[in-house]
Amino acid sequence: MLALCRAARMTRETFCLAASLLDRYVAECCAAMGDRGYPGESTLQLLAMACLSLAMKYEEVAPLHSADLLRLAVDPATGALLYTAGDLGRMEWLVMQMVSWRVRAPTPASFLMLLLPACGVNTSAASSLSEAPSDGSVPVLVQLATCLLDLCVLRAPELPFQPSTTAVACLLLAERLSGASETMAQRMLQLLWCSLFPNAHQQQHQRLLLGQCLLAAEALWIAAHGGAVRRPMHTAQASSCGRPPAGSPAACTSSRAPPAHPSCPPHDMLATPVDPHACAREDNVSLIQRQYLVWAQEQHCCDAIVMPPTKSPAAVLSW
């Protein structure tokens, strides 16, 4: 699906939504019928086409015609089409029924489009799946963040985290890979951290989840591209105007007045020791179900913590 989306110049949101639909459909089938619910090779190809068709109709301004999708699946021996327009329409109907007609779902791409403007970056380049031009018009931070995001979506079973956590991890890791001297993402994260998690227990738990997600994303990057990720210093350098180090209590105090709690996320998230198999999930578990499991674990571990109601736009990042 990723190769097709790139060839057809679709948006990254279309690809992520198609992957989410396929993930949720397979999970619902397996939940109802066990291992027998996992689609076969021929059905899986038609399922992928149906999910991509639904995602295009939802996200794209000018989606591909169904005939263009059907021409991609041909018999190598005879050259005949494997599926008809009726087959594709019936599979789309089955997908819609399985997901209870809830096409839209939070994805890491949707959160990355919200986080990049907070770092002073234009989101138009991040939305495109095409290769970045060599003229330097696309910031390195955007190129690395979107590349990491695509890896995380393709290997979703290895990242059982909320989509907002995955998006933040991709942004932070991209900043470290780019060797940026100014930690825009770190300062933006401090503001969100103090607003969304005023309780110290919540911040500690979210720090652990983000650290696990960072390590998992780093492992995917090393496996795909090789080379280690540059580790940040334990104490961030203060700017010439006297800004306190990132992650310090003073930094949180200066970010919002008065602060809800003097604790902020540390600067060395990647140093958090985690078990790489602690959050492993089966491949046929859907992204939505994994998000629910993570949420349920949070509630079980921190059942005495109640998030205060808020109508702030930043509250959407609690997904």
> Mean pLDDT across the stretch 228-243?
40
Q: What is the DSSP letter of 156?
A: G
Q: Which amino acid is at 307?
A: M
Give me the phi and psi of 128, to 5 degrees please: -90, 140
Kindly state the helix (H) or strand (E) to which residue 50 belongs, with its residue range: helix 41-59
127 pLDDT exceeds 50? yes
| Whole-number Å distance between alpha carbons of 269 and 272 | 6
| Whole-number Å distance between alpha carbons of 47 and 40 | 10
Q: What is the pLDDT of residues 255-291, one digit of tens each?
A: 333 333 334 444 444 333 333 333 333 333 344 444 4
Q: What is the pLDDT of residues 26-64, one digit of tens each?
A: 888 888 888 888 888 878 889 999 999 999 999 988 888
> Residue ranges per domain, the chain?
2-98, 108-229+244-304+312-318
pLDDT band at 181; cut points 50, 70, 90: low
**CATH number corresponding to 2-98:** 1.10.472.10
Give the three-state DSSP class for 135: coil
> Mean pLDDT across the stretch 107-125?
81
Give me the phi and psi of 81, to 5 degrees please: -65, 140
